[in-house]
């Protein structure tokens, strides 16, 4: 069924797509020449801008006229241009600038890569590697100028709001908390003799972080030690993040790395960790908590619209929200996809 939006002439629509590279090439030229910065003090003629950018006036005029027709700049009088609200965000010195991304996306390197799109469609090979002759990040390492463009684009709108650091003493916790003013801090602590450190984290109003695994069997903590940590955090309402070895939903035997010949080890599941924290936070105090942390059978976890049941116990969505808000607040995994895909495959969300 066709959209009910205002009809667009089919020929015009196809032509707009077919010539899109012209507009993006013009945008790249204007951004690379810092035209928006030169217009920050007021309108200027093509001749004035050409003198400021070291370009030829007629050629620059045609670029700016095209961009003005698209609303990027405004031609306020013949051959005289001014900023628009859109062009403002192409300046170097304004908050929220997207100059880096506007320079990166239409970079000629991208045109070369997308020119090989048909090869990717036919073979499945990445067009970037075909074009560049090497993986993208190898290319970046060998071409510092392009790497700088890439980095500017990736960081232009990035904001740091969280920091993480390790601490083995109460003094180290205090120093991290002092340095973290204005940021959310996660302090990684060992699971041996952790109680004083967890109390210090609570007292300084920061968050704890613990490792639940790694790439070798010996770095995985004993279940009893992990449970003791969870119980202490729940009792004292200390927010924590669990990380490492939590790629999978439930405890089981899994490859420790992505290598084809990787050894296997027993890994905790992120559902085990979160559900144990939620049940303990809701009042579970007996040996059932350890059994839940070790649970391997997904069929024993029953999810409805307002409860999660395990064995003869249940928690409500309010219990889950309370746990997520003030105790088990986050987990880390080397993979973005594995945890999500396993939950989808299990069809757990109601």
Q: What is the per-residue pLDDT across 280-293, written as a single tens digit (0 to 9) for each?
A: 999 998 789 999 99
Residue 346's SS3 state is: helix
Q: What is the per-residue pLDDT across 29-83, written as a single tens digit (0 to 9) for each?
A: 999 999 999 999 999 999 999 999 999 999 999 999 999 999 999 999 999 999 9
- What residue has token string 């035997």? 253
pTM: 0.65
| Domains in the chain: boundaries | 8-94, 107-158, 212-346
Written as one string, the DSSP assignment of 291-322 is HHHT---GGGEEE-SSEEEETTEEEEHHHHHH
pLDDT at 182: 84
Q: What is the per-residue pLDDT across 83-136, written as a single tens digit (0 to 9) for each?
A: 999 999 999 999 889 999 999 999 999 999 999 999 999 999 999 999 999 989
Q: What is the mean pLDDT of residues 147-170?
A: 89
User: Is pLDDT of 201 > 80?
Assistant: yes
Which CATH architecture best describes the domain 8-94? Answer: Orthogonal Bundle (1.10)
**Structure-derived torsion over alpha carbons of residues 323, 329, 334, 339, reported in degrees to the nearest 10:** 30
pLDDT at 345: 81
pLDDT at 76: 97
Q: What is the per-residue pLDDT across 207-258, written as a single tens digit (0 to 9) for each?
A: 999 999 999 999 999 999 999 999 999 999 999 999 998 989 999 999 999 8
Assign 158 a pLDDT band (cuts: 50, 70, 90). confident
Q: What is the per-residue pLDDT across 261-282, written as a single tens digit (0 to 9) for each?
A: 999 999 999 999 999 999 999 9
pLDDT at 1: 43
């Amino acid at each position: 069924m066709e959209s009910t939006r205002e009809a667009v002439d089919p020929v015009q629509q196809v032509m707009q797509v077919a010539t899109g590279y012209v507009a993006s090439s013009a945008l790249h030229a204007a951004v690379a020449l810092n035209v928006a910065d030169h217009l920050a003090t007021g309108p200027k003629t093509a001749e004035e801008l050409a003198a400021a950018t070291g370009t030829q006036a007629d050629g620059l005029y045609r670029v700016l006229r095209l961009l003005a027709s698209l609303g990027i700049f405004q031609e306020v009088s013949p051959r005289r241009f001014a900023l628009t609200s859109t062009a403002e965000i192409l300046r170097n010195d304004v908050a929220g600038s997207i100059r880096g991304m506007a320079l990166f996306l239409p970079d000629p390197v991208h045109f070369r890569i997308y020119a090989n799109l048909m090869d990717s469609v036919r073979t499945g090979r990445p067009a970037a590697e075909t074009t560049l002759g090497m993986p993208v990040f190898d290319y970046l390492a060998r071409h510092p100028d392009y790497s700088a463009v890439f980095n500017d684009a990736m960081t232009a709108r990035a904001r740091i709001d969280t920091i993480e650091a390790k601490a083995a003493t109460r003094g180290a916790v205090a120093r991290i908390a002092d340095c973290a003013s204005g940021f959310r801090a996660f302090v990684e602590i060992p699971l041996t003799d952790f109680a004083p450190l967890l109390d210090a984290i609570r007292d300084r109003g920061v968050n704890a972080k613990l490792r639940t695994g790694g790439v070798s069997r010996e770095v995985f903590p004993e279940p009893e030690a992990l449970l003791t940590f969870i119980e202490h955090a729940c009792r004292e309402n200390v927010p924590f993040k669990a990380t490492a070895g939590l790629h999978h939903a439930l405890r089981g035997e899994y490859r420790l790395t992505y290598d084809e010949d990787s050894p296997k080890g027993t890994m905790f599941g992120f559902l085990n960790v979160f559900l144990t924290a939620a049940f303990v936070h809701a009042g579970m105090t007996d040996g059932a908590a350890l059994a839940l942390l070790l649970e391997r059978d997904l069929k024993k976890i029953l999810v409805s619209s307002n409860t999660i049941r395990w064995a003869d116990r249940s928690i409500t969505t309010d219990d889950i929200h309370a746990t997520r808000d003030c105790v088990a607040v986050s987990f880390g995994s080397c993979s973005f996809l594995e945890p999500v895909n396993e939950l989808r495959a299990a069809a757990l969300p109601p």
